[in-house]
Chain A
Amino acid sequence: MVHTFDVIIVGAGGAGLRAALEIPQGFSCAVLSKVYPSRSHTGTAQGGVCAALANEEEDSWEWHMFDTVKGSDYLGDQDSIEIMCRDAIRAIIELEHMGLPFSRTPDGKIAQRMFGGHTRPENPADPNSKRVAVRRACYSADRTGHVMLHTLFENCIKQGVNFYNEFFVTDLIINKGVCCGVVAMEIGTGEIHTFHAKAVMFATGGYGRAFRITSNALIGTGDGCNIAYENGIPMEDMEFFQFHPTGLWKLGILISEAARGEGGILRNNAGERFMERYAPTVKDLAPRDMVSRAIYTEIKEGRGIKGSDGTYYVNLDLTHLGAQTIKDKIPEITGFARTYLGVEPLTEPIPVQPTAHYAMGGIPTDNDARVFLNAKGKILPGFYAAGECACVSVHGANRLGTNSLLDIIVFGRRGGKAIAQYLKEAEFTPLPKHPEGKSRKMVDDILSSKGTENAAQIRTEVQEQMMDKCSVYREAKLMKELVGDVRDLKRRYKNISIADHGKKFNTELMEAIELRHLLGTAETIAVCALNRQESRGAHARVDFPKRDDKKWLKHSFIQHEDGKPKISYKPVVITKFQPKERVY
């Protein structure tokens, strides 16, 4: 079946929904999601979204910009970061006007709390004075992502946006050098549909499920990124994957930085507040990459706490915060500790460990979500990307907490506006002869395979390998093995078969296709991580422990050429802040 729309947006998380709101009346737009919009991973964000509103204390977007640049370990593009931090103030007010139920200050303004890596000069008159933590994160208790997702979804309903829920996109259609649609499987019926469009936006989210311990939803399998990659579009900075320091031990479920923003303290087996040694000024509110490394180091040097299954963790201590703060400010995450670990945060510390959390890398875009076809900046007309699947790059080598919710509303909107502009002149590019051919073959191959491999087994193996060989600390020897391992798994993947041969709601088929994307994404991460011979942000090499600006102050682009990944580079945009050593 062929559907025709001016715009197709794939993904109904924050970025996709925000973009959809920008498509003016008179143009047709459909949002495709493999789940229901309210199930999108944006909803799991907890602690807040930063903007220099200065509702609680003096602040400025320039300080926010500096923190984001420094947090990115100077790999973020400063023109993009400036756009984001300036626009943050308008974007948050807009969300409030849309109805988002923020927590409030005593005078009724949007309340703000401290968050990792967000600082101000201790003496505002002296920009070079010591930086101290600042209240910049706007929040709604610890459900900020949930209420943001719902507010955007509600506004889409108000505006009458077309949703195709439980439609699983399987391919991108490019003809005559222009992106002109997508192919999708309707999950309920198994029917393959073609969506012909003038413009397509991918807002398909991240791929944390490439790792065994992750905070990411089971749907975070990198579908959009890998579909783009397989269609010849490069991926930018794939080696940079953020591990959030405080995932619930064993499970990886996120315990927001807001817990430390409200005063929570990380402690080792001696009860020592170990972050004092790693980040003397901001301590527990250091950026995530540093805290995750500190936890790994504590555990490696014997100061972790051994759990019942022989694995190690450190403690997140909230016991001094008091019942009222916990109930009002962080009810959800303390509930997770009770439900999943049987721990009472009012009286006991919460066992935590770093968890795969956020992909800084992804589909390369300009500041208006237009997708680059190569490192030289050639644009693929008609194709846009925003949110975690995209790399603008505002997060560089390490994203600051709260900046992902900000990224999706700022660049989702800009992408939507750019599409609206493009539609004024764009025509429909004709569909190629058999737009569904590749997707049909992929589905048929899986359904008819008599192979001996089990998809769930391969998925577990890739997650284990990525976790063991390419997580917080990395080294060449293990990553070389990993590249081989992932390629082996890709070969074995060709020999999978599934038990469900039905058409209707075949989630086994869908998971098998998701695994294809997960493996493709894992390979690009491993290849790029092995390639970058320095330590920067979330990419910490044991064998190259220093940042190397001379050789590596550049973005890497990995592109599929003649069946092989090829890496090229793009310079970092530096405007206001020259790279400096990164200490907190």
Chain B
Amino acid sequence: MQVTFRIQKYNPETDTTPYYKEFVVDGVDETWRVLDVLEKIKGSMDGTLTYRRSCAHGVCGSDGMRINGRNRLACSILLKDLNYRNVVTLEPLPSMPVIKDLVVDLSDFYKKYELVKPYLITKTNPPEAERLQSNEDAEKLFESAKCILCACCSTSCPSLWTNENYLGPAALLKAYRFTFDTRDEAPEERLDIVDTQDGIWRCHTIFNCIEACPKEINITWHISQLKKALVNREI
């Protein structure tokens, strides 16, 4: 079987603007991951093709990219999930500076992640054994804790496209993860961080983040819980 990949290329050392290059790849199967095709191109057709990858099964979040116009992980999408008889187009995640080919600069993404204090804050001394938490309360965290920091959500968000200072869905999801942890003792501190002009109120429930999330996290719902907590606090 044959498939045609049209990939956005950009080498900062030689190119002034990005361009597209087409690769006709033979000997593939519809059960191949998009990443498998990329590996084949890099290994035998064009060694300069550049992208990030690590676990290859949707757990590490390295290979987020735009596949046929949607933010996806190259290792979690199979050819049969795409309209592969037509040309498959790959581009870097939108709205972030491109370093080379499909690799984008993640500094801003991680900076915003760190801004929401993405860690448990406690002020009292812990007991000798574990802190108790009901399974129900623990499970309220599981969906948000699934986040793999792939940046598919934040780079799909029109609010972030138009305002680069906006924290974005990934950072807000992380804020939920700790604000609603019954063990956390600084939810107010974190709510203050997101209750700013470029914080949570920039979320206009466009739902692109949900559509983009490879871990099927209902990000907007989590953001809405933070909004509710803020509204209740103000009342």
Interface positions of A (Cβ within 8 A of B) = 35-36, 38-41, 43-44, 92-93, 96-99, 101-111, 140-141, 143, 146-147, 150, 154-155, 157-158, 188, 217-219, 251, 253, 328, 332, 336, 339-342, 454, 456-457, 459-460, 498-500, 502-508
Contacts and interface: CB of A to CB of B under 8 A. Distances in A.
| Best-buried of B13, B42, B59, B62 by chain A (most CB within 10 Å) | B59
Contacts of B51: 507
A328 B142 CA distance: 10
Contacts of A140: 142, 145
A505 B51 CA distance: 9
A1 B132 CA distance: 49
A508 B183 CA distance: 45
19 contacts: A39-B52, A97-B130, A98-B120, A101-B142, A101-B181, A104-B138, A108-B133, A108-B134, A108-B135, A110-B130, A150-B145, A218-B55, A328-B139, A336-B57, A454-B44, A499-B47, A500-B48, A502-B13, A504-B99
A369 B43 CA distance: 37
A499 B56 contact: no
Interface in B109-147: 110, 114, 117-120, 122, 126, 128-135, 137-139, 141-142, 145-146
B100 interface: yes
B119 A157 contact: yes
Interface string B18-52: 00000000000001010000010011101110111
B58 interface: yes
Interface of B: 11-14, 31, 33, 39, 42-44, 46-48, 50-62, 76, 78, 99-100, 103, 106, 110, 114, 117-120, 122, 126, 128-135, 137-139, 141-142, 145-146, 148-149, 178, 181, 183-184
Contacts of B76: 339
Given A96-B130, A508-B42, A35 B62 contact: yes
A157 to B, nearest CB: 6
Nearest to A110: B130
Given A38-B60, A104-B133, 11 more contacts: A43-B148, A92-B130, A93-B129, A108-B134, A332-B59, A457-B43, A459-B43, A502-B11, A502-B48, A507-B42, A508-B42
B114 A143 contact: no
Contacts of A109: 129-130, 132
Given A101-B145, A457-B43, A500-B47, A43 B55 contact: yes
A505 B43 contact: no
Contacts of A97: 122, 126, 130-131
Contacts of A339: 58, 76, 78
A277 to B, nearest CB: 32
Contact of A101 (B44, B60, B138): B138
A507 B53 CA distance: 10
| Best-buried of B46, B54, B103 by chain A (most CB within 10 Å) | B54
B42 A456 contact: yes
A150 B60 CA distance: 11
Contacts of A340: 31, 33, 57, 78
B13 A41 contact: no
A217 B52 CA distance: 12
Given A99-B181, A457-B43, A500-B47, A44 B130 contact: no
A155 B48 contact: no
B100 A504 contact: yes
A157 B118 contact: yes
A217 B135 contact: no
B135 A105 contact: yes
A151 to B, nearest CB: 8
B59 A44 contact: yes
Nearest to A251: B57
A44 B148 contact: no
B44 A217 contact: no
A106 B130 contact: no
Contact of B57 (A38, A106, A253): A253
A39 B55 contact: yes
Nearest to A507: B50
B100 to A, nearest CB: 4
Given A104-B138, A339-B76, A456-B43, A505 B50 contact: yes
A503 B54 contact: no
A141 B215 CA distance: 14
Contacts of A217: 54-56, 60
A43 B135 contact: no
Contacts of B11: 502, 504
B92 to A, nearest CB: 12
Contacts of B148: 38, 43, 146
A484 B48 CA distance: 31
Given A44-B59, A101-B142, A140-B142, A154 B43 contact: no
Nearest to A46: B59
Given A108-B132, A108-B134, A508-B42, A143 B145 contact: yes
A107 B130 CA distance: 12
Chain A to chain B: the 9 pairs with minimum beta-carbon distance, closest first? A456-B43, A99-B120, A108-B132, A499-B47, A154-B119, A104-B135, A500-B48, A96-B130, A39-B60
Contacts of A39: 52, 54-55, 60-62
B29 to A, nearest CB: 9
A536 to B, nearest CB: 31
Contacts of A92: 130
A109 B122 CA distance: 19
A157 B114 contact: yes
A43 B12 contact: no
A41 B126 contact: no
A219 B63 CA distance: 13
Contacts of B58: 336, 339
B78 to A, nearest CB: 7
Contact of B59 (A108, A146, A342, A502): A146
Nearest to B100: A505
A219 B54 contact: yes
Contacts of A188: 99
Contacts of A147: 145
Nearest to B101: A505
Nearest to B125: A97
A539 B135 CA distance: 41
